[in-house]
Structure formats: structure tokens, C-alpha cells
Structure 1
Amino acid sequence: MHKQNQGNNHIKWHLGKNWHRLHPAVQRRFNRLPTADKPIVYKGNMEVVACSKAGWLFAFLTKIIGNPLSPYQGKNIPMDVVLTTRPDRPGVYWCRTYYFPNKKPFSVTSVKKDDQGQMMEMVGGGFGMFLDVFAKSGELHFVSSRYVWKFMRWYLPLPHWLSPGKTHVIHQDLGQGNFRFSITMDHPVLKRTFYQTGIFHEHHD
């Protein structure tokens, strides 16, 4: 069990000397902290939003904890991503809103924060995952190492087979202010359950 600790998401600290292996544009995006008054907003287009039958089942079953997984599929789906912080709450909140045709906007909110020197991402109901963070070929990578459930002040590890799979997120700079965001989830038995990829840019009012 991992006892909870307070802290803010600090990607530069987690990467250490490997921070300089990131593309300079990626460094600029992640070397700042949004606030409630000044959120960071990205707009883009998810070229692919896909899930397997098992992935759809995971999405359906996790609706009770706040829709952390999209049950819908499609191509060229508009998306907004808003990063912010909350007073007296650790971490950076990420709200991703998908605009599937003929459906209500579908939002997924999570918070990235530190715990005992490890980065983690939490969704609803006390569920979340610890993340390994690394730089490769100028890209920023997040890879889940363990899914957990928060019980009081502790995090209880969940069996890998109960999760939608190992999560791998890649942030790749494309130049001219654009970047690619990709996420895959691969289950040890059910294989690939989710895949999404799209191109985004920062939005200024």
C-alpha cells in the first residue's frame, strides 16, 4: 500500500537530467503551471477514437466513477483539453471533452499529482494509476505501472487483469505550434482495448 502524500505535478523534476532530451517546444508546454484564473486550453481533432468490445465493457462498467473511458468510437472527433488547478488541492486537473456527432459532449476529468516521489493520475471514486515518466526521441511518455484504489489515506494495488490495460500516452511535437497526443491501453489477456490519436494546438482567447 502506498500512503498518500501531498504534492503538485512537476514533470521537469521527475525527468531530471532527461528533461533536456525533450523537444524544446514540449519543454515550453510542460514547464508552466495553469491556474483556475488562467487555464491552459488546447483544441484539436482526434483522428481515431477506437476501443475493442472488451474496452467498451470497461467503459460501461466505469461510468459509475465518472466516465474515465470513452465508450464511443469515431474518426476526426473535435476535442478540447483544459488544464487547471484548484485552490488547496494538489496536482493539475486535465479535462478532455470529445464532441462526437449526434451525442452530448463527453468529458473525462483526471488529476495528475505526485505521491512519495511518484507521479500518479487519479479519476473518480478514488481510482487511479501510478505513472512512469520518460523522454524518448524528443517525445514525452507516460506509462502506467500500477492501477490503485484509494482507501482512506492509502492506495491499494489492483490486479492487472482488473484494469483496462497498461496505459501509454505520448506527446510528440509536430512543429508550428502543433503536437500529437496518442494513448494506447493494452491488457495482458484481452490485448489492445483502447487507441486514440490526434493533433492539437494551444488555444488563446
Structure 2
Amino acid sequence: MVDAEGVPIHPRPDRHPCFARFPEAPGPRDIRFRILVGSAGWSRLPEAVRLRFSKRTRGGQVALYRGKVIETRLSRAGWWLAQLLRPLGTPLPLRQESGVPAMVCVSEDERSGGQIWSRLYGSHDRLPQVIHSVKSFAGPTGLEERIGWGIAMALTVEARADGLVFSSDHYAWYGFGRRWRLPAWATPGQTVVTHRDMGQDSEGRGCFAFDLEVRHPLLGELLHQHAVFADQ
């Protein structure tokens, strides 16, 4: 079943999301995340979350979110993983920093049709760390987080009453004109990113919590980061 705009009410997990049927959403809205969670799930989200994830950034426009990293935990294995991934664009926090400023910038990737996410994390005694990735609306789950050297993480998206949960389904490598699914033993395990709405701050700006967790089936928690951001 679909809603009035043709968006599935309850998308089936065994079917690839069909973005081709929605080449252009009317006006400034971006309905791709709505397609991923279905119109029923979308309607459960707080209005502020729907606005953040339907904001279209084109023609040099960006969406900015400023905040603070409350806590970053790295196990010994997690620290080594972060260092080993440096050649791929340093996709993970490198240090256990807490109480440092942070900023997220979202813009449109005109080449792929996805979104460029740039994250800047301050430091108490070093230069800030900048992490770039591209959210591509592709692959079997309909959403991938792509970093350097053709590595991608396929994500599933779940709508909850207070926000969105992005969970890794599998990892893949793009090379030689093909998409190669990586075996589980060659991956860091399960990655979960949570976007939880926190209402408004004292200045009336929308706020949300960002939580990132990477957990290996044998080594346990590798990384946990908790940060809060405000709309700009």
C-alpha cells in the first residue's frame, strides 16, 4: 500500500527502495528518507526530525549543526581500528575526547545524488579532526555510507517516536565495476547510529542527541560516542 504521493506506507524489507519513481520531490522537500522508513514510520517522527531529514541542500547550500561531544570511548581494539582506517579517510574518532566542540555540515553531492556529511571534532590539545563521508541512496537497503577506497556500509533505517536509528546491515567494496559484499570476518562488526530529538534549547533552537556505537561480536564495544547538537 502507498500514500497519496505514492510512498509505501510500510516498506517491505525484501524489496529494494525504488527512488527512480520519485525523481524530484516538489519544492524544497527531500522525500528519500521518508521512502526508506515508509509514510507510517515517517508520521511517527517528531516534526523537527522530519524537517532535518527532508531538507534539500542544492546550489551550494548547506545545513549546519553545532554542538559538543559529551563523551568518546575507545577500547584498545577500537583505537587500533581507528588508526588502521586512516588511509580510508579517517572515518572514526581517533581520540577519547570529551567536552569538545563539534560541528556537522550536510550538503548535496551533485555527482552521486547523495549527501556529503562533514563532521568536525575539536580537541583540547590538538588540531580538530574532520571526517567526510557520503550518504548514497543506493544498494540493496537503499542507503549506504561511503568512505574512501570504495568502502561502503549498507544501512537500514528505523523510525521511532523520538528519532531515527541507522544500523549496519553489511559492508561492501566497489571495485572493477562491481559491488562486492565483504565477509563478516573482514568487518568491524555492528555499527549503530542514533539521532534522538531533544526538543528546544533556551534559545528556541531544535536540539538532538547523536550516538555512535561500533560493537564487534568477539571484542565487544570498540567505540561509543555521545554528542548533542543544535539546529543553526
TM-score (norm 2): 0.80
Give unpaired runs (5+ residues) of structure 1.
none
Moved more, 37-46 or 80-89: 80-89
Partner of 1:13: 35
Residues 124 and 175 of structure 1: is their aligned pair in 2 closer, same or farther, counting only changes over 3 Å?
Answer: same
- 5 Å-filtered alignment, 1:66-81, equals 66-81=89-104
Partner of 2:121: 98
Equivalents in 2 of 1:143, 1:24: separation in Å?
A: 22
Identity over aligned pairs, percent: 31
> How far is 1:108 from its partner?
0.7
Partner of 2:185: 161
Partner of 1:145: 169
Conservation of the 8 A alpha-carbon contact between 2:173 and 2:179: yes
> How far is 1:159 from its partner?
2.3
Partner of 1:180: 209
Render the CA deviation track for 1:81-111: whole Å, top value 9, x for unaligned.
0001133332001000111111111011111
- 5 Å-filtered alignment, 1:26-65, equals 26-65=49-88
Conservation of the 8 A alpha-carbon contact between 2:139 and 2:154: no
> How far is 1:46 from its partner?
0.9
Equivalents in 1 of 2:101, 2:212: separation in Å?
A: 16
Conservation of the 8 A alpha-carbon contact between 1:161 and 1:188: no
Conservation of the 8 A alpha-carbon contact between 1:51 and 1:194: yes
> How far is 1:6 from its partner?
9.3
Ranges of 4+ aligned residues in structure 1 off by more than 3 Å: 5-9
Equivalents in 2 of 1:166, 1:122: separation in Å?
A: 16
Equivalents in 2 of 1:108, 1:36: separation in Å?
A: 22
Structure number with greater Rg is 2
Conservation of the 8 A alpha-carbon contact between 1:47 and 1:198: yes
- 5 Å-filtered alignment, 1:88-127, equals 88-116=111-139, 118-127=142-151
Report the aligned-residue RMSD.
Answer: 1.9
Higher RCO, 1 vs 2 (CA within 8 Å, ≥6 residues apart) = 1
Equivalents in 2 of 1:109, 1:30: separation in Å?
A: 18
Equivalents in 1 of 2:59, 2:166: separation in Å?
A: 24
Find the residue that maps to 1:27 and give its secondary structure: helix
Render the CA deviation track for 1:26-54: whole Å, top value 9, x for unaligned.
11111112225210010100101111111
> How far is 1:116 from its partner?
4.4
Find the residue that maps to 1:74 and give its secondary structure: coil
| Total equivalences in the alignment | 199
Partner of 1:200: 229
